[in-house]
Structure 1
Amino acid sequence: MPNHTDKLDFPASFTWGVATSAFQIEGAAAEDGKGPSIWDTFSHTPGKVIDGSNGDVACDHYHRYAEDVELIASLNVNAYRFSVSWSRVQPDGHGAWNEKGFDFYSRLLDKLREKNITAHLTLYHWDLPQGLQDMGGWLNRDTAHHFAAYAAEVARRFGARVATIATHNEPWCSANLGYGNGQFAPGVADPVAALQVSHHLLLSHGLAMQAMRAVKAPAKLGIVLNQWTATPATDSAADKAAADLEYARSVQWFMDPIFKGRYPELALKAIDTTRLSIFENDFKDIQQPLDFLGVNYYFRAFVSTETPPRLPEAKLGLTDMGWEIYPQGMSELLQALHREYQLPPVYITENGMAEADQLAGGRVDDARRIDYVRSHLQAIATAMEQGVDVRGYFYWSLLDNFEWNSGYAKRFGLVYVDYATQQRTLKDSALWYRSFIARQRAGQYHHAGKAVGAVGASGAGE
């Protein structure tokens, strides 16, 4: 493994974690009463997934969760972020609950507790029950109320067993990729529909926050948003205006309703709102206090109005997704949010990179991923020095998994998965992350006047 040195020093209370989502790893697509989700339907539709695969088996986490929790514990992390499959616990998205589905998550939580790993639960990671899609999906306002009922039930059962509950993961993707360009499930290509869906997603968030607080869930409650800075390609007025609009239509479109009770004027001026249905008190429902904000950061928007558009220099290269590696954008984003909004505590709930990883001699050499993580942690540290209250970092993802419409062709994991055998192998990045966390804890214990020694589930060091 490469000998990387690290001088970063995070607070002793900082949360170190890994993240996954239900559809991407669980498999067991029709077992124990689970109903189909829109991603089951979408991935079984010819031509929708690049490699022709589906999520029927994925990483078989439903049957291998105990093994996977052992893997998590071996990394020295103290937190695990996962999502609940709505259609596993409520097959149609309304009506009867599925106790076998809830039992699975209860067993998972038991195993995490055995290993002293704190659970962070996400209610919705894009896998709407097909039964609700058949009734109009997120274009149907009633779906927001069904979501609130689902949120209340999960919070009632598990709210005392998890540290946080996030309503949605990346509603921008659900709206714009699911309804705007048809790239994701349910495969609708209608930009106006995407706007309406984004509003119903935000409404469902606010209703769910109220419903969970009504059942007095002890967990901290919030939402996870994918966000980015928007950099104009040149100093031209056109590029600057386009970058401002991009930021308004992406980051501010979701942040402003939650924190300011309105949509950003700049974005509203650029869209056709005549087909957008907003009820009188919707913003009162949406603007609920957050206990935390989850931020997912992968890249910046580089905005050019030229034809063809000017591209960034990508000095640090591109990931296997074709995304520019731009770690300073993490710091720039966090500082911009800190200036513009009264933020609650922030978690970096996703950050990571896809690589064309190969297993050779029992090892995966992914030095670029190590550099990626370290540079983004440095950007987080810089933002914290500027006053941003960041409480934790979750690498995306624990495992190589079903990467949505890319199928199994893109590998984000710290752990390499051989999909034919389901064999898991720690990549070099996993070994580095384990050692990095151990060194952090050892240094903090030293600063606190305690003995320095091997720390964590494996006691791993370099």
Structure 2
Amino acid sequence: MDRSTFPREFLWGVSTSAFQIEGATGEGGRGPSIWDTFAATPGRIARGEHADIAADHYHRYPEDVALLAELGVGAYRMSFAWPRIQPEGKGAPNAEGLAFYDRLLDAICDADIAPVATLYHWDTPQAVEDAGGWLVRDTAERFAEYASILGERFGDRVRMWIPLNEPMVMSIYGYAIGEYALGKTLLLDAIPTAHHQNLAHGLAVRALRATGASGIGTANNHSPVWTASEGDDDKAAAIWLDALINRLYADPVLLGTYPSEMEQHLPDGYAEDLPVIREELDFYGVNYYEPQRVAAPGPGNPLPFELRPVEGYPLTTNDSPVVPHALHELLLSMHERYAGALPPIYITENGCSADDEVAEDGHVHDPDRVEFLSGHLRALRFAMDDGVDVRGYFVWSLMDNFEWSKGYAPRFGLVHVDYATQRRTPKDSFGWYQRLVRDDG
């Protein structure tokens, strides 16, 4: 795999998110988020870990930007922390928060790297959640006000905008099954949160464009859904799961409709919001990690599907099956399903966790990650050869970070972080990706 396989203008990048790396949760006027509350609740995070310090990016961002420059990527996908900008989720912005992101964006631009900014990566201000969170429509209106603040302040430097990252994860993991903040277990009653996030997306697109911002897209997590058998019941379950995790977010944004399977679970009046949700996009971000396998539900299952393990493939240390060809399958299916409506695609996240330790020679050897990335890039190139318009690829993640409810054990970074000392050590995969993007290999 080398860069010559891809067009010269192909955009290479890496991604992070604010809550996972910034730390400084009580500094700079930042307000509490739902993840601060969740992490402070006993039993919610593995080993009782929290993100109060994380990778200390808030204080060490110059070092991290220097690593980006050394890596040679053309773009860096970061996220703003909503509670750092608006501690209560509304009202005048926090001057210290704005100043921090001014410094960060200036440093990124000075390194000749294009900022790609995500407005929301699951860190809802606690005050917004206390007022109803994504279960209420008002949160979408608040989010649009927040988007306006960011567009006006940072629009001169941000090249690409992503209003919300993976709303599916917030709806399902946060509200439906409770594995992530907030820890609610509403099951199908969580589906209105998907609509309110979709509405927030559309309102934010309008708000950003009103400030003169351009290069606006999205970043949705997508997975191919495989059936456990060829039986009709298993196929029906697969259609339902595909509607829940994929089409519930892509259909309204790209087609202005919702999957029929979801309609009875959506809030009253949802159809009136569809023109807003379908605001034209400049790109569509795809986050891909793994496929899903599904069967018909067993007795007593309150859901219309039942997840089954994807067998026959190696697993990451995060227990995700490594299936590069499923990325090719996913991109082709989207290309066909949304023909004529799908803007250029960027792979806005793709990566894997591994057992990464600093060896006696002072290096971090992570051949599994190199193999993972190389395999997925080959699958991506095959999809491009088959007609899918893909313009860029972002590795998750630049550095090891706080991996939500699993704490610090899963390591996804191209850079190893020793959390006791905050020492950064580029891994072998860092050098591999550096050679790729610089056309040396």
Does the C-alpha gap of structure 1 residues 374 and 280 become closer, same or farther in structure 2, counting only changes over 3 Å?
closer
Alignment correspondent of 2:303: none
1:50-71 deviation per Cα after TM superposition (whole angstroms, max 9, x unaligned)? 1211110000000000000001
Matched length? 431
The one of 201, 205, 211 aligned to 1:209? 205
- Name stretches of at least 5 consecutive residues in structure 2 with no aligned partner: 299-305
Alignment correspondent of 2:268: 277
The one of 146, 153, 160 aligned to 2:142? 146
Alignment correspondent of 2:7: 11
Aligned-pair CA distance for 1:8: 5.9
Alignment correspondent of 1:157: 153
5 Å-filtered alignment, 1:51-90, equals 51-90=47-86
The one of 87, 99, 102 aligned to 1:103? 99
Say whether the 8 Å CA contact 1:192–1:276 is kept in structure 2: no
Does the C-alpha gap of structure 1 residues 194 and 66 become closer, same or farther in structure 2, counting only changes over 3 Å?
same
Kindly provide the amino acid, as one letter, of the partner of residue 9 in structure 1. Answer: T
Aligned-pair CA distance for 1:312: 3.1
Alignment correspondent of 2:370: 370
Say whether the 8 Å CA contact 1:178–1:185 is kept in structure 2: yes
Alignment correspondent of 2:425: 425
Secondary structure (helix, strand or coil) at the match of 2:388 reads coil
Cα distance in 1, alignment partners of residues 103 and 316 from structure 2: 35
Alignment correspondent of 2:302: none
Q: Percent same amino acid among aligned pairs?
A: 47
TM-score (norm 1): 0.90
Cα distance in 2, alignment partners of residues 142 and 104 from structure 1: 28
Aligned-pair CA distance for 1:304: 3.0
Does the C-alpha gap of structure 1 residues 7 and 114 become closer, same or farther in structure 2, counting only changes over 3 Å?
closer
Kindly provide the amino acid, as one letter, of the partner of residue 104 in structure 2. Answer: L
Alignment correspondent of 2:328: 331
- Name stretches of at least 5 consecutive residues in structure 1 with no aligned partner: 440-460
Cα distance in 1, alignment partners of residues 256 and 114 from structure 2: 32
Note if 1:24 corresponds to 2:20: yes
Say whether the 8 Å CA contact 1:319–1:354 is kept in structure 2: yes
Aligned-pair CA distance for 1:310: 5.6
Does the C-alpha gap of structure 1 residues 121 and 180 become closer, same or farther in structure 2, counting only changes over 3 Å?
same
Alignment correspondent of 1:321: 318
Does the C-alpha gap of structure 1 residues 293 and 310 become closer, same or farther in structure 2, counting only changes over 3 Å?
closer
Cα distance in 1, alignment partners of residues 171 and 241 from structure 2: 16
Cα distance in 1, alignment partners of residues 79 and 291 from structure 2: 26
TM-score (norm 2): 0.95
Secondary structure (helix, strand or coil) at the match of 2:416 reads strand
1:35-79 deviation per Cα after TM superposition (whole angstroms, max 9, x unaligned)? 111111111111110121111000000000000000111111111
Cα distance in 2, alignment partners of residues 313 and 20 from structure 1: 29
Cα distance in 2, alignment partners of residues 286 and 312 from structure 1: 33
Cα distance in 1, alignment partners of residues 40 and 65 from structure 2: 29
Note if 1:299 corresponds to 2:284: no
Say whether the 8 Å CA contact 1:345–1:389 is kept in structure 2: yes
Question: RMSD value over aligned CA atoms?
Answer: 1.6
Secondary structure (helix, strand or coil) at the match of 1:395 reads strand
Task: Select between 259-268 and 47-56 the one with higher mean Cα deviation.
Answer: 259-268
Cα distance in 2, alignment partners of residues 311 and 228 from structure 1: 14
Say whether the 8 Å CA contact 2:236–2:296 is kept in structure 1: no
5 Å-filtered alignment, 1:347-366, equals 347-361=346-360, 362-366=362-366
Note if 1:400 corresponds to 2:400: yes
Cα distance in 2, alignment partners of residues 6 and 152 from structure 1: 40
Alignment correspondent of 2:310: 312
